[in-house]
Amino acid sequence: MASERTTRDTIIDAANRLFYREGIRAVSVDAVAEAAGLTKRSLYYHFKSKDELIADYLRLRDHPNLQRYATWYAAAEGGVTERIGAIFDHLANEAGKPGWKGCGFLRTAAELVNQPGHPALKIGVDHKKRVEDWFAEILAENGVSEPARLARQVSLLIDGAFSQAMLYRDPSYFHEAGLAAQALVRSAVSGPSTGST
């Protein structure tokens, strides 16, 4: 049983590297098997289809991505405004690295736009919702009156920055989005709502 789990993990790790670097459509099952040091037949013993492998690729990225946000937030100095801003700064740093290819969830969703029932899309939706809910929890803890709404706005800024940074190959979009997020959060925590937000 342990060896089966290890083999499955080896396959997912290989898929993660290839799918993130090259895209899910550009990478064949043969390429994943080769990168994992296995035969195609062995890969299909552990995964019924490429679609299942794609879904597990995104599942693998779910917890680590959210954990990074939580780690960056916890390590930052200042209040909630500065800490949320720090997440954007860290994303800008990541986007400046040579191997950065953007958000794996957004890229996969774009490739599967004509397959709305694909299992990977549900995993992507669930991941984005978890991130949004995490922001809402933080904002609620800091006395924001409409935490879910503000969390949605912050999430939009993150994903918008991902899209622009990928398109222009310019990490500074994360810095600009971070400034906008901080302005929204600062306004929400600094006083009673005027009804305009």
Does 179 lie in the same domain as 113? yes
The verdict on 96 and 20 lying in the same domain is no
* pLDDT tens figures, 72-116: 999 999 999 999 999 999 999 999 999 999 999 999 999 999 998
Q: Are residues 177 and 145 in the same domain?
A: yes
* Same domain flag for 116 and 26: no
Q: Is the pLDDT of residue 48 over 70?
A: yes
- Note whether residue 149 is domain-resident: yes
Count of domains forming the chain: 2
Do 38 and 85 belong to one domain?
no
Answer yes or no: do 4 and 87 share one domain. Answer: no
182-188 contacts at long range (C-beta below 8 A, 24 or more positions apart): 182/81, 182/82, 182/84, 182/85, 184/150, 184/153, 184/154, 185/80, 185/81, 185/84, 185/139, 185/144, 185/150, 185/154, 186/81, 188/139, 188/144, 188/145, 188/146, 188/150
Same structural domain, 67 and 115:
yes
Predicted local distance difference test score (pLDDT) of residue 190: 79
**Model pTM?**
0.89
Is the pLDDT confidence value at 196 over 70?
no
pLDDT tens digits for range 148-159: 999 999 999 999
Residue 53 pLDDT > 50: yes
Q: With 80 as the cut, is the pLDDT of residue 1 above it? A: no
Q: Note down the domain range covering 15.
A: 1-47
Nearest-angstrom CA–CA distance, 184 and 197: 9
What is the average pLDDT value for the chain, to the nearest integer?
93
Percent of all residues in the chain with a pLDDT value above 90, rounded to a whole number: 92
- The stretch 14-35 carries a mean pLDDT of 96
